[in-house]
């Protein structure tokens, strides 16, 4: 047997088996075929090839992280060959975790059944995450998230993404477009693995237009002692001096339908950075805030006002966004505090300042979406900047 044949044998062995198994198989075969004096050499080459070929992370055609595996091994694990690692030997395998899956692994990526293609069927796709004992929260990152739009009541009746925990917290039911959004799920601090989290996506047939139903959700387990834990009560948690907070399904307005969801009651929290004492919120674009409208029961605009933006008690009757002790001007002792905002902007200049800690954005919507739909309200996209303590 010449050396290139030898390499081929090792290559096949290492690429068709698990790393550990592969090495063991290689050793057994080596012992069978060759005398021990030749074994150390073979083992060395085998390790080398294991290192270069199998189980190496790779970039898939979809720009996701895959694992180099033999094609047959990839398919046997419900993976998808998505590019080559070493031509003709290993493929870059995208290991899909989808409907029916159950895992206790960190950094799981949950995708729709047909991913990277769109799903167009009626289905209930459910996965179960069993937490590890030192884990207190899950963080979900929606790398991709397109489901059907909510109905005219702001409810996810065609498609819905639901989170079930045994902790009892009510988490929003989501649908529509949510790429880039994230959320935290409290899973309790108990040691016993009795609090599995179930994520389910209910889908109803094909969705209209150009929309392609597809999701790719990264699930991270946050250890209880981690500084990355979101404070209790925060569905979203932003850890940067500046950033953007958008309502779920924020996007271009849809005729006679509100994009934002009804029945929301959650808080987006901003970590206070060291030496920062205040926060400025401003609308990303002049028109990137359309949330609630001060209407009374007869559906007319309150007090015949021509104002477009409202604050405080005016926002009580419908949906609002809450920022504690917010003023239109920073450090102006004469500027009145408001704590809730609604209408078509944040006060007169599309911005407010607050020095109330912790920095939070409270998001509220009720179950009456009729007039919000008539106004085609699209939600909010707000930019925040923390303000240094020096005055
Ligand atoms: C992957 O990334 C490259 C550049 O980094 C880009 O040109 C290409 O379009 C991306 N492919 C997909 C499927 O996103
Ligand atoms: C769903 O997609 C498949 C594959 O693209 C296609 O063959 C099928 O006709 C589609 N079904 C519906 C109801 O659109
Ligand atoms: C899960 O992975 C993330 C990202 O690598 C890491 O920060 C976190 O500590 C891990 N969680 C556990 C329980 O190991
Ligand atoms: C609603 O507003 C209109 C116009 O300002 C007023 O005539 C009407 O009485 C109000 N209805 C209620 C229930 O407050
Ligand atoms: C509201 O505006 C309409 C039209 O401008 C006017 O006819 C009506 O009298 C106003 N109502 C009140 C209570 O000011
Ligand atoms: C295949 C073979 O001949 N293996 C031999 C290699 O040498 C050891 C002793 O060092 C023998 O026990 C094996 O039978």
Nearest to 289 by CA among 327, 318, 321: 321
User: In the prediction, which pLDDT does 385 show?
Assistant: 98
Domains 105-224 and 230-391 are alike in CATH topology: yes
User: In the prediction, which pLDDT does 114 show?
Assistant: 87
What is the whole-number distance in angstroms between the Cα of residue 108 and the centre of ligand 4? 53
What is the whole-number distance in angstroms between the Cα of residue 36 and the centre of ligand 6? 6
Atom of ligand 1 nearest to the CA of 116: 13
State the SS3 of the chain.
CCHHHHHHHHHHHHHHCCHHHHHHHHHHHHHHHCCHHHHHHHHHHHHHHHHHCCCCEEECCCCCEEEEECHHHHHHCCEEEEEEEECCCEEEEEECECCCCEECCCCEEEECCCCCCCCCCCEEEEEEECCCCCEEEEEEEEEEEECCCCCCCCCCCCCEEEEECCCCCCCCCECCECCCCEEEEECCCCCCCCCCEEEEEEECCCCCCCCCCEEEEEEEEEECCCCCCCCCCCCEEECCCEEEEECCCCCCCECCECCCCCCCEEEEEECCCCCEEEEEEEECCCCCEEECCCECCCCCEHHHCCCCEEEHHHHCCCCEEEEEEEECCCCCCCCCCEEEEEECCCCCCCEEEECCCCEEEEEECCCCCHHHHHCCCCEEEEEEEEEECCC
Atom of ligand 3 nearest to the CA of 226: 9
Q: Strands 102-103 and 123-129: what pairing?
A: parallel
pLDDT in tens, the chain (391 residues): 455 544 444 444 444 444 444 445 444 454 444 434 444 455 555 545 544 456 788 888 878 788 888 888 887 776 788 898 877 788 998 877 899 989 888 888 899 998 888 999 999 999 999 988 889 999 999 999 999 999 999 999 999 999 998 877 789 999 999 999 999 999 988 766 567 899 999 999 888 778 899 999 999 999 999 999 999 999 999 999 999 999 999 999 999 999 999 999 999 999 999 999 999 999 999 889 999 976 544 455 555 556 688 899 989 888 999 999 999 999 888 888 999 999 988 998 999 999 999 999 999 999 999 989 988 899 999 999 999 997 6
Q: In the CATH scheme, what is the code of domain 230-391?
A: 2.60.120.290
Q: How far apart are the C-alpha atoms of 56 and 63, rounded to whole Å?
A: 15
User: In the prediction, which pLDDT does 9 show?
Assistant: 44
Task: Decide: 83 in ligand 1 pocket, CB within 6 A.
Answer: no
What is the whole-number distance in angstroms between the Cα of residue 132 and the centre of ligand 3? 11
Task: Decide: 143 in ligand 1 pocket, CB within 6 A.
Answer: no
Report the nearest-CA residue for atom 14 of ligand 4: 296
CATH of 105-224, one of 2.60.120.290, 1.10.3860.10, 3.40.50.720, 2.60.40.1260: 2.60.120.290
Structural contact between residues 151 and 127, judged by C-beta atoms closer than 8 angstroms: no
Task: Decide: 221 in ligand 3 pocket, CB within 6 A.
Answer: yes
Task: Decide: 211 in ligand 2 pocket, CB within 6 A.
Answer: no
Is the sign of the CA dihedral 221, 227, 231, 235 positive or negative? Answer: negative
Report the nearest-CA residue for atom 1 of ligand 2: 120
Q: Where are the domains of the chain?
A: 1-53, 56-95, 105-224, 230-391
Ligand nearest to the CA of 212: 2
At a CB cut-off of 8 Å and minimum separation 6, what does 101 contact? 108, 110, 127, 128
Distances from the Cα of 231 to the Cα of 245, 261, 269, 356, angstroms:
17, 24, 8, 16
């Amino acid at each position: 047997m010449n050396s290139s044949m030898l390499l081929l044998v090792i290559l096949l062995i290492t690429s068709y088996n698990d790393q550990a198994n592969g090495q063991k198989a290689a050793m057994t075969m080596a012992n069978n075929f060759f005398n021990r004096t030749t074994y150390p050499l073979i083992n060395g080459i085998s390790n080398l090839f294991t290192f270069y070929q199998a189980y190496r992370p790779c970039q898939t055609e979809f720009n996701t992280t895959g694992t180099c595996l033999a094609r047959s091994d990839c398919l046997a694990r419900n993976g998808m060959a998505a590019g080559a690692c070493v031509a003709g030997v290993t493929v870059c395998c995208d290991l899909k975790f989808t409907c029916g899956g159950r895992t206790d692994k960190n950094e799981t990526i949950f995708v729709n059944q047909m991913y990277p293609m769109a799903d167009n069927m009626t289905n209930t796709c459910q996965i179960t995450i069993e937490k590890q004992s030192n884990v207190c929260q899950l963080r979900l990152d929606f790398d991709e998230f397109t489901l059907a739009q909510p109905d005219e009541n702001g409810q996810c009746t065609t498609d819905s993404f639901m989170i079930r925990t045994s902790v009892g917290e009510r988490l929003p039911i989501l649908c529509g477009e949510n790429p880039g959004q994230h959320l935290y799920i409290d899973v309790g601090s108990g040691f016993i693995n009795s609090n599995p989290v179930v994520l389910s996506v209910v889908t109803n047939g094909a969705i209209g237009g150009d929309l392609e139903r597809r999701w790719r959700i990264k699930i991270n387990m946050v250890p209880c002692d981690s500084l990355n834990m979101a404070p209790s009560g925060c569905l979203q948690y932003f850890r940067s001096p500046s950033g953007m907070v958008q309502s779920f399904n924020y996007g271009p307005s849809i005729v006679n339908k509100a994009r934002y969801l009804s029945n929301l009651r959650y808080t987006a929290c901003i970590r206070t950075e060291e030496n920062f004492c205040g926060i400025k919120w401003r609308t990303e674009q002049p028109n990137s805030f359309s949330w609630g409208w001060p209407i009374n029961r007869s559906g007319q605009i309150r007090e015949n006002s021509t104002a477009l933006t409202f604050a405080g008690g005016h926002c009580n009757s419908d949906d609002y966004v809450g920022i504690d002790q917010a003023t239109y001007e920073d450090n102006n002792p004469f500027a009145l505090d408001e704590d809730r905002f609604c209408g078509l902007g944040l006060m007169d200049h599309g911005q407010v300042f607050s020095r109330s800690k912790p920095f939070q954005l409270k998001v509220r919507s009720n179950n009456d979406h009729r007039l919000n739909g008539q106004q085609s309200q699209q939600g909010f996209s707000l930019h925040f900047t923390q303000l240094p303590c020096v005055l």
